[in-house]
């Protein structure tokens, strides 16, 4: 399988940031309450793991939060790991 880096898309109706590749769907579930984006849970199919899919999901969600003036409440461990590797997003984390 050839992986082309792409940005995830926000799906408001399902409350997810989604990325589809080769018929496989990866997603990051979120909630939105006022000015807080809750990043809850991610799922990446085994076929897509190790190709930066989880990072793309986290990046898209965090960029959306920044662009829309939201803080983030990080529940998902994959997003926590992403922020640890990308401290430029630490200011978004709800304290």
Task: For residue range 86-95, list pLDDT tens digits in order.
Answer: 999 999 999 8
Helices (H), the chain: 53-67, 77-85
Q: Structure pTM?
A: 0.89
| Reported CATH class of domain 9-92 | alpha beta
Task: For residue range 23-76, list pLDDT tens digits in order.
Answer: 899 999 999 999 999 999 999 999 989 989 999 999 999 999 999 999 999 999
Q: What angle do CA 24, 77, 12 make, to 5 degrees?
A: 55
Q: How far apart are CA 82 and CA 23, in angstroms?
A: 25
Please provide residue 12's backbone torsions phi and psi, each rounded to the nearest 5 degrees: -65, -40
């Amino acid at each position: 399988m050839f992986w082309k880096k792409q940005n995830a898309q926000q799906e408001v109706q399902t409350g997810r940031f989604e990325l589809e590749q080769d018929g496989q769907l990866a997603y990051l579930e979120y909630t939105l309450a006022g000015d807080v984006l809750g990043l809850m849970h991610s799922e990446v199919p085994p076929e897509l793991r190790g190709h930066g899919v989880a990072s793309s999901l986290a990046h898209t969600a965090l960029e959306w939060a920044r662009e829309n003036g939201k803080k983030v409440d990080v529940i998902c461990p994959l997003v926590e790991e992403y922020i640890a590797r990308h401290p430029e997003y630490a200011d978004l984390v709800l304290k």
